[in-house]
Amino acid sequence: MYTTELSDKNKKPSAAAMANEDPVRLAAFEARVAADNFIEPKDWMPEAYRKTLIRQISQHAHSEIVGMLPEGNWITRAPSLRRKAVLLAKVQDEGGHGLYLYAAAETLGTSRDEMIEALHSGRAKYSTIFNYPTLTWADIGAIGWLVDGAAIMNQVPLQRTSYGPYARAMVRICKEESFHQRQGYEITMTLAAGSPEQKRMAQDALDRWWWPSLMMFGPPDDNSPNSAQSIRWRIKRETNDQLRQRFVDVTVPQAEAIGLRVPDPALKWNEARESYDFGEIDWEEFYAVVRGEGPVAKERMNARVKAWADGAWVREAALAHAAKRNGRLAAE
């Protein structure tokens, strides 16, 4: 997931910026969006729409790539060959998701280098969830079940987002995310049915990942400044609170089915709303993590920067090869 508004600095597109747009083109654009037509890269679009999309898609791409780190740590320690192979495939999928999304963002006029630079310098945000540590094997179960589960909740509506390349990337990503969610739930289910110690590990992982997973949906609607505009332009299709509620409603019965307890004393089925009521989220913690104060934020960024530096020779070799090939083709 990864698609909520994570920056606290961004304001609504200013009235001044919108006033600079050609009113006839703006009206035509808004009519197309309202009719559920896709906007494509060469189509006219308001600058604020372009900027919002670049920010959202690049944050999403960064989250996919940074999300490889907490699980990549566990590939060598997975408890069996089958678990290793499955986890390896999952982590590779996340790398692929990052690539589709960087490519979608590039169609809006930003470059891969600019986006990577923004991530490495700390200017760009990524999902707060990846700044929490993965302490035991049970955390790999909890991440797949809860974090990928939350990602699906967020991303399924984005298959109908108004920007064509983003919507199409999301179709494939959602298929893979549902495999990720199942592999995580299956790990958790196996542990929960295992020895008392294994069950305790599964419960401990749920206890630590539950609240950060709810935070992944972003700030509450009344404190989410860009939401209304993004919904009007169909960049987002549902609000943070709607998606968070749906996640709780789907996930609580899954925990109960395998004998685990969601760590929220206020959690209660509300007959009238046909939904769960749940406790207050610690938004102070959320904003601290957004500001880069998460438990392993520095470690994550150091790992990303090191991977980028270690891969420099691959990028250089690929460029040299492409130049040589182009030269040969030109000569022919």
Residues of this chain that interact with Fe ion (CB under 5 A) are 64, 94, 97, 148, 177, 180
C-alpha 152 chain-centroid distance: 9
Minimum CB distance to Fe ion, residue 33 (Å)? 26
Instruction: Evaluate the CA torsion angle 24, 27, 29, 31 in order and state its sign.
Output: negative
**39 versus 150: smaller Cβ distance to Fe ion:** 150
80-114: buried (b, 16+ CB within 10 Å) or exposed (e) per residue?
eeebeebbeebbebbeebbebbbebbbbbebeeee
Minimum CB distance to Fe ion, residue 67 (Å)? 7
**180 versus 244: smaller Cβ distance to Fe ion:** 180
**148 versus 264: smaller Cβ distance to Fe ion:** 148
Q: How far apart are CA 81 and CA 83, in angstroms?
A: 5
DSSP string, 151-211: HHHHHTGGGG-SBHHHHHHHHHHHHHHHHHHHHHHHHHHHHHTS-HHHHHHHHHHHHHHHH
**130 versus 163: smaller Cβ distance to Fe ion:** 130
Minimum CB distance to Fe ion, residue 96 (Å)? 8
Q: How far apart are CA 204 and CA 2, in angstroms?
A: 24
Minimum CB distance to Fe ion, residue 64 (Å)? 5
Report the first-to-last Cα separation within the chain, whole angstroms. Answer: 47
**13 versus 218: smaller Cβ distance to Fe ion:** 218
Minimum CB distance to Fe ion, residue 147 (Å)? 8
Minimum CB distance to Fe ion, residue 155 (Å)? 8
Place of tokens 């192979």: 85
**29 versus 130: smaller Cβ distance to Fe ion:** 130
Minimum CB distance to Fe ion, residue 97 (Å)? 4
The Cβ-side half-sphere exposure at 242, using a 13 Å CA radius, reads 8
**48 versus 86: smaller Cβ distance to Fe ion:** 86
Element at 203 (helix H, strand E): helix 196-215
E runs forming strands in the chain:
268-270, 275-277
